[in-house]
Structure 1
Amino acid sequence: MFGFISDFFSGREKDAPAPELAQAPKPGATTIAYDPNLIAALEADHSKLVELYGKMWDEGFEKKNYVKLSRILAEFKSLFQGHLLKENVRFYVYLEQSLGKDKHTLAVVKEFRTDMNDIANAVIGFCKRYSKGAFTSAMEAQFKKDYTAVGEALTRRVQSEERDLYSLYQPS
């Protein structure tokens, strides 16, 4: 039903293991070190989020199995929040420190970060709204609209991150 999101990820390995992340910096360190595995880990998160997004519809909503939908939403929300933390703490902070002298690119990165926070609030709200386990007919109709809107927003965001933003992540 929602090919726009699966089309983008159709070329990826479905069960590719997430790469190991580099060790955390030593206590007292004031900078974030470059992690050669970070982008692959973020992209693996994207693939898993897309898989869970599809399951929301296929295994939960479409079958009117709202208990299962609630579980999938909880898993999606947890992975999404972990992904955001990884991006905010390891990716954006590193970019901001490594692009400190490039004011224009730094401004673009900060705008991406602000936009992602807006999307994150909408996605978390969606997960909370529909994780109750019971649906009214009005909720069913609204879920379809909200599900589509979330999918479209995430697809646009992931495409722009992977196409434009992740290429900025380079060793200093």
Structure 2
Amino acid sequence: MRRLIGQPPERQAPTGRNDAGSATLGAISTPARPIAYDAGLVPTLKQDHHDLVALFSEIGSCAKLDRFEDIPMLLTRFKMNFEAHLIAENVRFYNYVERALEGDSENTMLIRSFRREMNAIARGVVDFVKKYQLTGFDAGERAAFLEDYRNVGDLLAQRIQREEASLYPLYQPA
């Protein structure tokens, strides 16, 4: 998991146990390492955006072609890819930028605002996916899906545009 998010493998710290196997007071712990700058991170996150938009478009195409039976599987795939993107963004991007811009209150507020907004969007996407894990879509569910699909799509498109224009440029080497 650590390799997936761009961190080196975790090293085992000494356990601080004595011969009897009980813990001692002198246990050694290592401080958490700060996330290092990665020149490839923003291009990777942008590629994720491209891939997520393509997958979301495929879901819309299935709906337009009346292939609603394919939608639950595609939604699950979208959710998994979306969550993987969010993990990388939270762990590698936000943590680095927040640390790098610690003294810059204006940009720190912007970053925190983006982070809070993304958490709300993520909940909405997960709710959307759960709502449409149906074995069959009747006419009402199809109409509701199309409306929800448009709303979620608009929200994601706006967010991606704002992230790439306003947030990602803040990611710079220290």
Specify the TM-score bucket, using the shorter chain as the normaliser.
0.7 to 0.9
Query: Within 1, Cα distance between the matches of 2:140 and 2:54?
Result: 26
Q: After the TM superposition, which residues 1-172 of structure 1 pair with which residues of structure 2 at under 5 Å, given as runs?
A: 23-25=6-8, 27=10, 28=30, 29-58=32-61, 60-172=62-174
RMSD over equivalenced CA pairs, Å:
1.8
1:26 CA displacement: 5.3
TM-score, with normalisation over the residues of structure 1? 0.83
1:22 CA displacement: 8.4
Q: Where do 5+ consecutive residues of structure 1 fail to align?
A: 1-20
- Contact kept? 2:5, 2:92, Cα under 8 Å: no
- Contact kept? 1:32, 1:90, Cα under 8 Å: yes
Residue 123 of structure 1 aligns to a residue whose secondary structure is helix
Q: Structure 1 segments of 4 or more deviating over 6 A?
A: none
1:124 CA displacement: 1.1
TM-score, with normalisation over the residues of structure 2? 0.82
Task: Give the residue type in structure 2 aligned to 1:92.
Answer: Y
Residue 152 of structure 1 aligns to a residue whose secondary structure is helix
Query: Within 2, Cα distance between the matches of 1:88 and 1:132?
Result: 31
Query: Within 1, Cα distance between the matches of 2:95 and 2:82?
Result: 18
Q: Where do 5+ consecutive residues of structure 2 fail to align?
A: 11-29
Of structures 1 and 2, the larger Rg is shown by: 2
1:131 CA displacement: 2.0
More helix by share: 1
Q: Give the percent of matched residue pairs that are identical in Structure 1 and Structure 2.
A: 38
Cα deviation code 1:85-111 (max 9, x no counterpart): 011111111111111111111011000
Task: Give the residue type in structure 1 aligned to 2:45.
Answer: L
Residues paired across the two proteins, number? 152
Q: After alignment, is 27-36 or 138-147 more displaced?
A: 27-36
Task: Give the residue type in structure 2 aligned to 1:37.
Answer: G
